[in-house]
Structure 1
């Protein structure tokens, strides 16, 4: 059972009215009567409409989650790139403090390092 249907079947409406009267037909992608209990067709149709709406909303939210996960990953990559630039700039400053770089060269190299060119 997929996560979407699992969550749907935890809902009060499912538990109270339909749990023992219907089964999910994987081929049809909807609920069907299982003969355990008499149920009016319009109740089943209404229930399947709720399932369709639930599934559509679930898919919409799942797409949002995946989009945010991709964005989070990209932000992490961007942060690592920026950290490398800062580390390169810090190394140049440390070298300058130790007397290994002239101030005019340092400014150009710092600019390149912070732009990610160095």
Structure 2
């Protein structure tokens, strides 16, 4: 599913980022880029390779994560967002098609969200 894809993980908690990486490795992902925040991504944006998929943490009272997701989606990059906020999706009305996984999430929930996101992207590219 993820072979030859470049995946960006934006996650402030190192252990959660490593758990996401483990789940991605189980799907044969090999090119994974880590950032601790959307601001960090902005600082290194010029040196980033093309990203095929982004997993972005939406932290409470942080508009940088949603803004990054908006920019990536506008450029055709599929995104999955994660959050500890039960109401995070209410703040992201313009990104309602982007799944938000509530932490803690299971490996099955995570992989299902990735598959659904990548399937939607593949279908939209065919249209």
TM-score when scaled to structure 1? 0.27
Larger-Rg structure: 1
Which structure features the higher share of strand residues?
A: 2
